[in-house]
Structure 1
């Protein structure tokens, strides 16, 4: 077949257009999504639904005192064929294998603004600094002001653009008199069918397979090594595994990992619903349309506007819940995130919004709201929310309006303190209303979820709804190495899943609802034996060798003493003789006694007062040694006072319509696309 030469603008499949850059090694970089001096956001490998809205930004960088050339162009063309292949030729300085891009198009590249009929913003300039390596970074931490590298930037942005035609697009930035940066974008067809009327996405923040295994052992009866009962998670018909890497780092945090679930795009640590650029404003970065935003403008043909619910045991402005509705590269901007919920340019305005974080809602004593605003009143008056602050008020709400439930000044107390060691709730200043009162009447996760589902069902039974529900303290308690509290919250998640399934069946919604349970990232937790705490505690504080002999491995790793006689899914006693020998590979220096802390969460390490550095150095906390724990020398940097995330794949459980798509190994961005397909999302 003869192909006119005008159609072969880049190449035939036998000629390489350009090398597709692999992720380069190293801990420090100028800008995460920008390996060159010319930057395109969204970057290479971005994946969209046809019709989804997104922002585009280009940046041109120059280091030192040099100014970037303000003359640059951005072009785009749709490709008929596009793929990459790996070559064994050593043509790269960081990897013996490299990739070449092959492409073919039927039309020439076009000016980006003309192609999308979109007007760019006025050209902007700014500057920033970065550290090229660890030596420069740590010298700066110790006060050296000369080690940062300055970067000058010129930039242009296009806001709220759409690609309506599915296919592969090549975007090319030409800058600095002939230099180019290229990106391939993939656009999937907008879903034309709808499998699930509703979706519930449960997030066990930080949850791993090893934690689930340990939680099962704590709570389920067993005989001759066989479990007589299993967790609710164990009974899901579909099991998958999710890869969690971020756009530019090995280890993710909750912000950009939760964003991947809500946008289908990779991002960077601390970022929510954006591609992080280098601009001074953390709220003007290129935005990615959220699943909840698509839910709000879903076509009438596929059911129309759907309901949205957000439930968490953390601050409601924290990373995982905020990923459902927020756009910012800085997750700790809690006060502005609270404002975004009802006043943002594309405010989601969820029908259900429950958790902690009350200190960002008011300007009373202990309050940190934006400009001292009373957001409880604003949510009520401007958006019609019913506002509640305790379990009793929440449970009695039967109205038709949206529900805002804020139950603590900060993160809600964990299950173990809400239900077993209740004296820890007496904490002056923990009230969500400010002042000196304590938050003594906090609901459990299952109560918030069921009440939230009741509200969603009343408001959107015909159209359907999406709920994200987070068991946040699995992660929050893994950080200070408080494994009992973390596993208790994992069991609370499992119990909530079981009660949710029962509620859906009673309401006749079980056949219409896709349920997904997964994690946003992991911790390097595992169990390697059991501990006889009575023998452990019989030795003095510094007798580490003798105390270690209480740890049984292999044939001596006998069963722990936990029993769930009342069948509620939780151990009846947590302070038992035989416990789990458990831990992580990433921790500050601390002393470990393998026993529950009855007086609140652990504080494993404290700052020492005689550090010669400009930053704090952490040492084992003497107050953490109730039973004289064994010394564990830290595996993290000296300024670390908590454990950190790991990079392992996390499990995913699914059931209901569309669940078959979640089997196997997938990237975290794929979870979004599978949910979008099940719900029939995608705007005109």
Structure 2
């Protein structure tokens, strides 16, 4: 029996190998995951949860003056040896007949793309002839389900004999292992950042730490590969979507495979983890709760990946509407964070059609709406909770708790009064309140909570490492308080906790800096300033201390700081010291340039040694990196997350732990 099964697996693997095509090298493409003129979405090597809903789209392309043949067909077959036998006898059949889903009426449209960097940059400088026109014929199947686990081959036949094949794998549904799952995301967080945060916050003797971070104490650790569908480097939208769908996507996309059509809302969708949890059968435990907590705008990429479907993450006004009015909307039990300007049309407001969404959420879905820390802490009810505490992204931990004058900026109040938001909660307060509400509403059926420390990433971009590390420490402190809260209520045995990141930045520490010596030289004495950097035995130890034991340095403006940086940055000046007056602005647009696009140069208001940029001149801040990111796990099912895994596997493992599917 084992031998027969093994042979079956070999035959499937051989079939997959025969179909699979390598990703095509190059920086520019006609359409992600579509190297030929025939496109199938979901593409080759896609993985599904049995019973999950998804859309399918095919596109047939023709370039320049050619036209696509509108006569094409899509078929599907289940490969032999991959599980239960289907009624079609494992033969390829028409896709609509097999799935019992009829395709929408055929559509046609045109779009342009750039074949390479030369064509793209010519266009940026005003050349209107460098783009290649593409003509498209397309069909879409909406709300498809594959309930039988196994391996399927999908074939698009087009343009008189050409074909595109895709292998899809459908995973079985598992028995539920946990009642609740908490997914902490330190946006942009990497292992070197955690090491730096540990160094500045934990005491050590003879080179050994006397206390570790809360993340360090998790029993299981793994690594996550973060590539996107069509690029080695990911952004937060499609990487967070991988965690919420089990599918890779392209930059800027949330819960969809980006097609080439003009509208950002008709792209083929994938059912989200929260959507699956909302429709979970009574047999599997019933409809589960959903919570979203973030220090960013609640419409930003990572939180929006929990509930939104769009190719363009910047469609934030519509994303607010999708939460409560979209197709099968998630309607989360808890939504806490920033982004007030997309809920109203008052001062600074950008809401969809000028709608007052605070009122809409309250009237249509029964939300209790709050706007400051006091109201958050006082709330003891069981109604769904919407807490929006800032007009945009919430201020970072350092400015909320240490350099408080920096938040006295007009216009940050989330209700559009034009006043500053001076009473914002911390991440731990939002997470604990979120768990309280979820427990009241879904104690029996269980719940899923996504909590994001967003400004680890948002401060790494402008190279403001102190603020980024402070927000990482806030995440770690929140993790510790969360575990205490769960244990006190005897929920720890029923709750899987994951701490991970959606992508990384190329940050690392290579020594220390004597800022007193650094500052003793003039700006022209760069050689002498560089000599303040100590490496190896001369790196010594930085000056940070945490005497009060709250998990944060007592003082951030110290003499001996970290010599740190990233591999990807614009030209800027570096002094290795905290920016007390607010977040860094490393580069600014050049006032005069012969190019049609913006060229950036070092910000003249910053001081320090000149660091010539490693990025193109259009970039004003740092960018993401290739690094694998860590995943820490504790609780039922935690052992699934050890080892090296793709970001899509995080979804499938969470779904397995929660018993989702079908």
**Shared fold, TM over 0.5:** yes
Task: Tell me which residue corresponds to 1:29.
Answer: 29
3-state DSSP class of the match of 1:438?
Answer: coil
Give distance in 1, aligned partners of 2:462 and 2:197: 18
8 Å CA contact 2:229, 2:249 repeated in 1:
yes
The answer on 1:649 being equivalent to 2:631 is no
The answer on 1:208 being equivalent to 2:190 is yes
8 Å CA contact 2:543, 2:558 repeated in 1:
yes
8 Å CA contact 1:80, 1:106 repeated in 2:
no
- Cα 1:350–1:632 change in 2 (3 A) is same
The answer on 1:681 being equivalent to 2:660 is yes
Task: Tell me which residue corresponds to 1:603.
Answer: 585
The answer on 1:256 being equivalent to 2:235 is no
Per-residue CA deviation, residues 557-609 of structure 1 (Å, 9 max, x unaligned), is 01000000000000000000000000001000000000001111000001111
8 Å CA contact 2:215, 2:632 repeated in 1:
yes
Alignment partner of 2:545 out of 538, 554, 563: 563
Task: Tell me which residue corresponds to 2:3.
Answer: none
Per-residue CA deviation, residues 494-515 of structure 1 (Å, 9 max, x unaligned), is 0000000000011110110000
Per-residue CA deviation, residues 344-398 of structure 1 (Å, 9 max, x unaligned), is 0121000000100111110001000111110000000010000000000111001
Q: CA deviation at 1:552?
A: 0.2
Task: Tell me which residue corresponds to 1:386.
Answer: 368
Q: CA deviation at 1:65?
A: 1.9
- Cα 1:439–1:151 change in 2 (3 A) is same
Per-residue CA deviation, residues 441-460 of structure 1 (Å, 9 max, x unaligned), is 00000000000000000000
8 Å CA contact 2:20, 2:45 repeated in 1:
no
- Cα 1:111–1:485 change in 2 (3 A) is same
The answer on 1:464 being equivalent to 2:464 is no
Per-residue CA deviation, residues 132-182 of structure 1 (Å, 9 max, x unaligned), is 000000000000000000000000000001001111111000000100000
Give distance in 2, aligned partners of 1:371 and 1:577: 52
Task: Tell me which residue corresponds to 2:5.
Answer: none
Task: Tell me which residue corresponds to 1:42.
Answer: 42
Give distance in 2, aligned partners of 1:348 and 1:583: 40
Q: CA deviation at 1:548?
A: 0.4
Q: CA deviation at 1:16?
A: 9.4
The answer on 1:440 being equivalent to 2:422 is yes
Gaps of 5+ in 2: 1-7
Task: Tell me which residue corresponds to 1:66.
Answer: 66
3-state DSSP class of the match of 1:496?
Answer: helix
Give distance in 1, aligned partners of 2:65 and 2:411: 50
Alignment partner of 1:179 out of 162, 169, 179: 162
Moved segments of 4+, more than 4 Å: 11-19
Per-residue CA deviation, residues 602-650 of structure 1 (Å, 9 max, x unaligned), is 000011111110011111101222xxx1000000001110000001100
Q: CA deviation at 1:14?
A: 8.0
Per-residue CA deviation, residues 18-65 of structure 1 (Å, 9 max, x unaligned), is 452101110000000211101100000111111000000000000012
3-state DSSP class of the match of 1:503?
Answer: helix
8 Å CA contact 1:79, 1:106 repeated in 2:
no
TM-score (norm 2): 0.97
8 Å CA contact 1:37, 1:61 repeated in 2:
yes
Task: Tell me which residue corresponds to 1:268.
Answer: 250
Task: Tell me which residue corresponds to 1:363.
Answer: 345
Task: Tell me which residue corresponds to 1:111.
Answer: 94
The answer on 1:636 being equivalent to 2:615 is yes
Q: CA deviation at 1:302?
A: 1.5
Task: Tell me which residue corresponds to 1:5.
Answer: none
3-state DSSP class of the match of 2:79?
Answer: strand
Q: How does 1:477-516 map to 2 (within 5 A)?
A: 477-516=459-498
Give distance in 2, aligned partners of 1:404 and 1:123: 41
Task: Tell me which residue corresponds to 1:332.
Answer: 314
Task: Tell me which residue corresponds to 1:374.
Answer: 356
The answer on 1:52 being equivalent to 2:58 is no
8 Å CA contact 2:185, 2:500 repeated in 1:
yes
Question: When the two structures are aligned, how many residues end up with a matched partner?
Answer: 649
3-state DSSP class of the match of 2:430?
Answer: helix
8 Å CA contact 2:49, 2:661 repeated in 1:
yes
Per-residue CA deviation, residues 72-120 of structure 1 (Å, 9 max, x unaligned), is 000011111479xxxxxxxxxxxxxxxxxxxxx9532101001111111
3-state DSSP class of the match of 1:121?
Answer: coil
Task: Tell me which residue corresponds to 1:3.
Answer: none
Give distance in 1, aligned partners of 2:580 and 2:556: 9
The answer on 1:229 being equivalent to 2:229 is no
8 Å CA contact 2:280, 2:661 repeated in 1:
yes
Per-residue CA deviation, residues 449-480 of structure 1 (Å, 9 max, x unaligned), is 00000000000001000000000000000000
8 Å CA contact 2:218, 2:633 repeated in 1:
yes
Task: Tell me which residue corresponds to 1:88.
Answer: none
Give distance in 1, aligned partners of 2:12 and 2:256: 35
Task: Tell me which residue corresponds to 2:395.
Answer: 413
8 Å CA contact 2:78, 2:152 repeated in 1:
yes
- Cα 1:124–1:529 change in 2 (3 A) is same
The answer on 1:76 being equivalent to 2:76 is yes
Task: Tell me which residue corresponds to 1:660.
Answer: 639
8 Å CA contact 1:256, 1:272 repeated in 2:
yes
Give distance in 2, aligned partners of 1:112 and 1:508: 49
Give distance in 2, aligned partners of 1:681 and 1:441: 39
Give distance in 1, aligned partners of 2:17 and 2:180: 44
Which one is further off, 12-21 or 409-418?
12-21
TM-score (norm 1): 0.94
Task: Tell me which residue corresponds to 1:140.
Answer: 123
- Cα 1:469–1:190 change in 2 (3 A) is same
- Cα 1:488–1:29 change in 2 (3 A) is same
Give distance in 2, aligned partners of 1:312 and 1:263: 19
Give distance in 1, aligned partners of 2:541 and 2:371: 42
Task: Tell me which residue corresponds to 1:305.
Answer: 287
8 Å CA contact 1:299, 1:682 repeated in 2:
no
Q: CA deviation at 1:340?
A: 0.4
- Cα 1:139–1:568 change in 2 (3 A) is same
8 Å CA contact 1:363, 1:374 repeated in 2:
yes
3-state DSSP class of the match of 1:624?
Answer: coil
Give distance in 2, aligned partners of 1:284 and 1:439: 37
- Cα 1:496–1:159 change in 2 (3 A) is same
The answer on 1:167 being equivalent to 2:150 is yes
The answer on 1:427 being equivalent to 2:427 is no
Give distance in 1, aligned partners of 2:129 and 2:438: 55
Per-residue CA deviation, residues 646-668 of structure 1 (Å, 9 max, x unaligned), is 01100000000000100000000
Alignment partner of 1:587 out of 553, 569, 579: 569
Task: Tell me which residue corresponds to 2:504.
Answer: 522
